[in-house]
C-alpha cells in the first residue's frame, strides 16, 4: 500500500468518524506535541543529570565544602538548585537547622512547581478526550437509528 492509498484511507476514516474523531485526532496531535515539549524542557532543566549533584553531596559528606560548591557551579538543574540551597543554608551562620530546612523546602517547592508547567494542559486533554469519544458514540448511534 503506497502513501497515496494510506492517506486516502486515513481521510476516509476521519470523514466517517465525523466531527468527534477530528477533535480527538487534534487532541492526539496536541498531546504528542506537549509530551515532546515537556521532555525537552525537563532535559534542559537537568532532570536526568545526577553526576554533578552526586559529586557535590559526596564532597559535602567528606567535609570538602569547596568541592561540593565547585561541583554545582554553573548548574541550573532541579537537583543542583536544591542541593546548592541546602549547602548555602547550612553554611549560613544566621540560620538555625529549622530555618535552613524551611528555606531548602521553599526552594525545592519553587523548582518543582516550575517543572510542573504544562502538565495542566495534558490533564485537561485526558479529561476531555474520553468525553468527546462518548459524544461521538452517541452521535453515531443516533445516526444509525435514523436510517
Q: Which domain holds residue 143?
A: 118-147
Quick one: which of 60, 62, 63 has its CA closest to 71? Answer: 60
Same domain, 146 and 100: no
pLDDT(3) > 80: no
pTM: 0.69
In a domain, residue 32? The reply is: no
Same domain, 107 and 122: no
CA–CA distances in Å: residue 21 to residues 35, 43, 108, 123? 21, 33, 41, 19
Residue located via cell numbers 538543574: 77
Distance separating alpha carbons of residues 124 and 126, to the nearest angstrom: 5
Domain count, the chain: 2
- 123-141: b (≥16 Cβ within 10 Å) or e: eebeeebeebeeebeeeee
- What is the predicted pLDDT for the residue at 81? 86
Name 21's Cβ contacts closer than 8 Å, sequence gap at least 6. Answer: 13, 14, 136
In a domain, residue 86? The reply is: yes
Query: What is the CA 92 to chain-centroid distance, rounded?
Result: 33
pLDDT of 91-132, one tens digit each? Answer: 888 888 888 889 889 998 998 888 888 889 999 999 999 999
Amino acid at each position: 500500500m503506497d502513501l497515496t492509498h494510506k492517506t486516502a484511507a486515513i481521510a476516509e476514516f476521519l470523514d466517517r468518524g465525523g466531527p468527534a474523531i477530528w477533535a480527538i485526532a487534534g487532541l492526539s496531535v496536541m498531546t504528542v506535541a506537549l509530551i515532546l515539549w515537556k521532555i525537552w524542557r525537563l532535559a534542559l532543566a537537568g532532570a536526568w543529570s545526577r553526576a554533578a549533584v552526586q559529586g557535590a553531596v559526596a564532597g559535602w559528606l567528606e567535609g570538602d565544602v569547596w568541592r561540593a560548591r565547585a561541583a554545582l557551579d554553573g548548574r541550573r538543574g532541579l537537583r543542583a538548585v536544591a542541593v546548592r540551597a541546602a549547602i548555602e543554608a547550612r553554611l549560613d551562620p544566621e540560620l538555625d537547622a529549622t530555618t535552613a530546612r524551611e528555606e531548602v523546602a521553599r526552594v525545592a517547592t519553587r523548582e518543582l512547581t516550575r517543572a510542573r508547567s504544562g502538565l495542566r494542559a495534558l490533564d485537561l486533554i485526558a479529561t476531555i478526550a474520553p468525553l468527546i469519544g462518548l459524544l461521538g458514540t452517541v452521535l453515531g448511534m443516533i445516526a444509525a437509528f435514523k436510517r
